[in-house]
């Protein structure tokens, strides 16, 4: 059978399967856990409270002109720093098994280093963790979700090789203070965004834009920092704290635009550059950066007159330290993109740059349902394929879906989020049926938050946050009721309608939505 007929039949089978699985009630496996996730800068606020120092996001969001779409900042955001008890009520109401939040490094270590530990920061996370434990919610802590202390950025941030030690020391403070109650650790969230967007381009802070160089230095140091925290836990804490520790990587599914071998190669390259660069060194038996990735950057570097590859080498000892340094794979995945090779790519990207090294053009298919975020379309079959591919390439690791979700422009009746959620959960069940070792699912986000460069224009929350009122009141969207029922019943029932009804808000009441929920 020719590859094209084969892939056509394969796609047909997936879609037939999806039609069948969409209409029936399906159950989640025994022991499967549900959560929701957020991150410090996106929800906490309290940006200048109780000894917290500035992170690179505090600085970036205050730049003039603002790099943020609506000119907003995370200074107050959903104010979870003060309203954390309300957040825990929501976790409880949803029936979450676990909740992923991140710790702000400059709230714990204002200067980045352990000579100055901020008691205000330790107290805040202790209160949050205790409140969660009291309510039976398991805390999953992300140690780093993009808010680097400014003091460390001055020293080069993720391009300084000493950051592996700085991160290890920071991790030791977290294990010491919280490890008695926290049994799930995620070292670093989204290395490819940290490195490609922050150092290899100017999309995110610190916007170094050291294209083709900064991102690769960052990649090596992120891997080493992750591995040092992992080994520290393993050697000093695991025995008496009994937890697990992993990393959260971003996985966008890449689909070739045609059966042309060039497009297939381009697709493979995109995968290697954007997630293989991090997953291969940690989750394969041989470790190290993927061969194709090393080869492409080395060849381009030589052509461009560099004396050595712009991708720093991992020494044998580093390969060994990184290999196997994760108890589970944190899987952040939202969408799919189409990929092709274009011979006339020259001039399309800066030289040198990772995009130029990769030599692939990545585009979206405008026929797919579009969210409020430009980059996010609903493609559940891509989620299914992504899970299959990761399980195949990386030795079927235990997977937690650490992030998956949908953005709207607001409003409580979020039927499109519900459709996305159901379709992706159904694809997840298909992946489990096909043998993927997925142990839990965390929706993003529990509440609306500061969505990085999109500010507050893209709403990811199951709960709407009213950013215009001081209480930052949180109101469940319809999707919250649907998710709650999925967690309660451990069933995915495509026909379930929550037992709540909608009532029109009286005209004189100031509310931006036309409806409120009434029980």
Residues that bind ligand NOJ (CB under 6 A): 39, 42, 189-190, 332, 403, 444, 451
Tokens 């950013």 -> residue? 467
Q: Residue 39 or residue 296: which is nearer to ligand NOJ going by CB?
A: 39
Closest contact distance (angstroms) between CB of 404 and ligand NOJ is 10
Q: Measure Cα distances from 213 to 192, 202, 230, 267, 273 in Å.
A: 14, 13, 26, 22, 14
Q: Residue 58 or residue 403: which is nearer to ligand NOJ going by CB?
A: 403
Point out the residue whose Cβ comes nearest to ligand NOJ. 190
Q: Residue 237 or residue 460: which is nearer to ligand NOJ going by CB?
A: 460
Q: Write down the H helix ranges in 155-258.
A: 163-178, 191-192, 198, 214-232, 238-241
Closest contact distance (angstroms) between CB of 28 and ligand NOJ is 24
Q: Residue 39 or residue 79: which is nearer to ligand NOJ going by CB?
A: 39
CA distance linking residue 421 with residue 199, whole number of Å = 33
How many CB atoms sit inside 10 A of residue 329's CB? Answer: 25
Continuous segment of H or E residues that includes residue 141? strand 138-144
Beta bridge partners of residue 223, listed in sequence order: none
Closest contact distance (angstroms) between CB of 268 and ligand NOJ is 23
CA distance linking residue 316 with residue 286, whole number of Å = 11
Q: Residue 355 or residue 447: which is nearer to ligand NOJ going by CB?
A: 447
Closest contact distance (angstroms) between CB of 144 and ligand NOJ is 11
Q: Residue 289 or residue 406: which is nearer to ligand NOJ going by CB?
A: 406
Closest contact distance (angstroms) between CB of 444 and ligand NOJ is 6
Q: Write down the H helix ranges in 197-353.
A: 198, 214-232, 238-241, 261-271, 277-283, 291-303, 316-322
Closest contact distance (angstroms) between CB of 453 and ligand NOJ is 9
* Listed residue (434, 227, 179) closest to 325, CA to CA: 227
* Listed residue (112, 207, 115, 202) closest to 162, CA to CA: 112
CA distance linking residue 290 with residue 18, whole number of Å = 33
Q: Residue 331 or residue 340: which is nearer to ligand NOJ going by CB?
A: 331
Closest contact distance (angstroms) between CB of 139 and ligand NOJ is 18
Closest contact distance (angstroms) between CB of 458 and ligand NOJ is 7
Continuous segment of H or E residues that includes residue 425? helix 415-433
Return the biggest CA–CA distance within the chain: 71
Closest contact distance (angstroms) between CB of 199 and ligand NOJ is 17
Q: Residue 201 or residue 332: which is nearer to ligand NOJ going by CB?
A: 332
Rg (CA), the chain: 22
β-strand pairing of 98-102 with 138-144: parallel
Q: Residue 159 or residue 332: which is nearer to ligand NOJ going by CB?
A: 332
* Listed residue (39, 47, 36) closest to 480, CA to CA: 36
Closest contact distance (angstroms) between CB of 333 and ligand NOJ is 10
Q: Residue 322 or residue 447: which is nearer to ligand NOJ going by CB?
A: 447
Q: Residue 33 or residue 203: which is nearer to ligand NOJ going by CB?
A: 203
Beta bridge partners of residue 492, listed in sequence order: 26
Q: Measure Cα distances from 496 to 183, 414, 478, 490, 515 in Å.
A: 34, 15, 12, 13, 20
CA distance linking residue 512 with residue 500, whole number of Å = 20
DSSP state letter for 517: E
- Are 504 and 443 contacting, i.e. CB atoms less than 8 angstroms apart? no
Closest contact distance (angstroms) between CB of 146 and ligand NOJ is 7
DSSP state letter for 39: -
Closest contact distance (angstroms) between CB of 195 and ligand NOJ is 13
* Listed residue (394, 235, 401, 219) closest to 324, CA to CA: 394
């Amino acid at each position: 059978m020719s590859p094209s007929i084969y892939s056509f039949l394969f796609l047909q089978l997936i879609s037939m399967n999806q039609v069948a699985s969409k209409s029936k009630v399906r159950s989640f496996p025994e022991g499967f856990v549900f959560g929701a996730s957020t991150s410090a800068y996106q929800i906490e606020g309290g940006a200048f409270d109780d000894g917290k120092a500035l992170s690179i996001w505090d600085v970036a969001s205050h730049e003039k002109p603002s790099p943020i779409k609506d000119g907003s900042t995370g200074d107050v955001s959903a104010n979870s720093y003060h309203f954390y008890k309300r957040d825990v009520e929501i976790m409880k109401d949803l029936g979450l098994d676990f909740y992923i939040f991140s710790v702000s490094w400059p709230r714990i270590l204002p200067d980045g280093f352990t000579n100055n530990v901020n008691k205000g920061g330790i107290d805040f996370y202790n209160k949050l963790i205790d409140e969660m434990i009291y309510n039976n919610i398991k805390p999953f802590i992300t140690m780093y979700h993009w808010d680097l202390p400014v003091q460390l950025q001055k020293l080069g941030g993720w391009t300084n090789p000493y950051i592996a030690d700085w991160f290890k020391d920071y991790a030791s403070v977290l294990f010491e203070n919280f490890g008695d109650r926290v049994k799930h650790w995620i070292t670093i969230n989204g290395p490819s965004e940290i490195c490609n967007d922050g150092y290899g381009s100017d999309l995110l802070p610190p916007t170094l834009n050291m294209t083709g160089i900064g991102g690769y230095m960052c990649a090596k140091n992120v891997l080493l920092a992750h591995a040092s925290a992992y080994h520290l836990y393993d050697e000093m804490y695991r025995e008496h704290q009994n937890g697990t520790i992993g990393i959260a990587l971003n996985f966008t599914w890449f689909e070739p635009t045609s059966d042309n071998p060039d497009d297939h190669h381009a697709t493979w390259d995109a995968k290697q550059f954007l997630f293989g660069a991090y997953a291969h060194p940690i989750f394969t038996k041989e470790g190290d950066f993927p061969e194709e990735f090393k080869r492409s950057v080395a060849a381009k570097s030589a052509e461009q007159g560099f004396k050595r590859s712009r991708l720093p080498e991992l020494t044998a000892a580093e390969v060994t330290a990184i290999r196997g340094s994760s108890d589970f794979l944190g899987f952040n995945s939202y969408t799919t993109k189409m990929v092709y090779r274009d011979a006339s790519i020259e001039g399309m990207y800066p030289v040198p740059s990772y995009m130029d090294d990769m030599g692939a053009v990545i585009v979206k298919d405008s026929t797919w349902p579009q969210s409020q975020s430009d980059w996010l379309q609903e493609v559940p079959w891509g989620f299914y394929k992504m899970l299959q591919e990761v399980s195949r390439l990386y030795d079927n690791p235990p997977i937690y879906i650490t992030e998956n979700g949908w953005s709207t422009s607001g409003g409580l009746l979020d039927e499109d989020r519900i459709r996305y959620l159901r379709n992706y959960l159904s694809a997840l069940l298909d992946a489990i049926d096909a043998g993927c070792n997925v142990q839990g699912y965390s929706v993003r986000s529990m509440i609306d938050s500061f969505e990085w460069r999109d500010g507050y224009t893209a709403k990811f929350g199951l709960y709407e946050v009213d950013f215009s009122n001081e209480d930052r009141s949180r109101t469940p969207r319809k999707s919250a009721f649907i998710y709650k029922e999925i967690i309660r019943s451990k069933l995915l029932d495509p026909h379930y309608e929550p037992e709540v009804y909608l009532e029109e808000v009286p005209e004189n009441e100031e509310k931006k939505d036309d409806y409120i929920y009434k029980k």
